[in-house]
Amino acid sequence: MENANFPTSDKGRVYHVEVKRGEVANRIITVGDHTRAEEFAQYLDKDSPLFRLSSARGFLTITGKYKGVPVSIIAIGMGLPMMDFFVREVRSVVDGQLAIIRFGTCGSIGDARTGSIIVQNAAFAITRNYNYFSDTEEIESELTDEKPYNFTKIFHADPQLYKKIELELINSFGEDNVFTGLNATCDSFYSSQGRKDGNFRDYNSNLISTISDIYPEAISLEMEAFMLFHLAKSSTSLPLKDSNNTILKNSIKAASAAMVVADRVTNDFISPVKVHDIQKVAGRAVLNALVDFELIYVHPDDDDCVW
Ligand code: R1P
Ligand code: URA
């Protein structure tokens, strides 16, 4: 390993995802779960080789072609830091624009019932305000000005990319089963998503209603999309121009969709068999959207490029 600032191996492999230049395509589907990644990989072209790399830190990268177009499917596990590792490390080994679609699961706080799909066209984050929890006496006597949870501003998905996903999902599942709207990315599945847990003082009994007060248009809760949109927005420009000769402002285009597995209104939770059935169909839909999206990049020179 070299370079403490951005560690890479002497073969150019990044520290946590472990991929190197030529192993990841510019079009990427990212999921949490390895089995979902493997399931989506079954749709990749059978006549093209499949590259597969499992990292010691739990990332799984599968690169192949879908309808003749190079794509990678990358499972990252869960939470904001995993999305940060993935986006930054993959960005560092791929040249040109990146299109990244997250396809995950979520909870619904709106009209979407379990089994439906939410296209998350924007996201904010809800994070536990650790300072609030530092002095129990202060909390109990209501002396603190702190709030137990912090809410960020809203960051947006790429409008063209999310509309392509929405269209493909509607074609596959019908309009009644596809919802589009604002997502809250939370730093816990439990406390910052308003779940009750008697083993901890979480001060979250009003959290779901606070979400509706601050962002009445919020319809889903999950744990990664905000970081993806935030990093896409923070990504620097490329010395490349699009078909209108405009310099590309951000190098990453991002979007997200998720199956509703938890209905936080009715308290229904979906069976794993049903998730499996939905993602089988949704996998094709998101891959179709991904390869149909215009992107500017060049094939790397490396002899050992896997695509
Ligand atoms: C929690 O169960 C996990 O499910 C959701 C959340 O964002 C979190 O990662 O997404 P995935 O199904 O993609 O993992
Ligand atoms: N993923 C989450 O983060 N929350 C849910 O309620 C369901 C899936």
Tens digit of each residue's pLDDT (9 = 90 or more) over 248-263: 778 999 999 999 999 9
Q: Does residue 307 sit within a domain?
A: no
User: Taking CB atoms and a 6 Å cutoff, what residues make up the pocket around ligand 2?
Assistant: 105-107, 189, 193, 221-223, 261-262
Is residue 55 domain-resident? yes
The domain total for the chain is 1
Mean pLDDT of 97-124: 98
For residue 144, name the pLDDT band (cuts at 50, 70, 90): confident
Which region, left, alpha or beta, applies to residue 83 given φ > 0 means left and ψ of -120 to 50 means alpha?
alpha
- pLDDT by residue (tens digit) across 40-65? 999 999 999 999 999 999 999 999 99
Question: Would residue 21 count as lying in a domain?
Answer: no
Q: Are 63 and 21 in contact (CB under 8 A)?
A: no
Element (H, E) at 62: strand 60-66
Q: Confirm whether the ipTM is greater than 0.90.
A: yes
pLDDT one-digit tens code per residue, 74-99? 999 999 999 999 999 999 999 999 99
Residue 234 inside a domain? The answer is yes
Q: What was the pLDDT predicted at 114? A: 98
* Protein residue with least CA distance to atom 3, ligand 1: 78
Residue 195: count of CB within 10 angstroms of its CB: 18
pLDDT of residue 1: 81
| Percentage of residues in the chain having pLDDT higher than 90 | 88
**Would the CB of 32 count as within 6 Å of ligand 1?**
yes
CATH number, domain of 191, equals 3.40.50.1580
Q: Would residue 296 count as lying in a domain?
A: no
Supply the DSSP symbol for 148: S
Residues 6 or more apart from 62 whose CB is under 8 A from it? 37, 38, 41, 44, 50, 51, 52, 72, 73, 74
Q: Determine the structural domain holding residue 157 and report its residue range.
A: 27-291
Domain membership flag for residue 195: yes
Is the beta carbon of 189 within 6 A of some atom in ligand 1? Answer: yes
Residue 242, pLDDT above cutoff 70: no
Q: Kindly report the number of other CB atoms within 10 A of residue 68's CB atom.
A: 9
Is residue 306 included in any domain, yes or no?
no
98 assigned to some structural domain: yes
What does the pLDDT read at residue 302?
A: 79
Residue 240 pLDDT > 80: no
Determine which of 16-25, 138-147, 153-162, 255-264 has the lowest per-residue pLDDT on average. Answer: 138-147
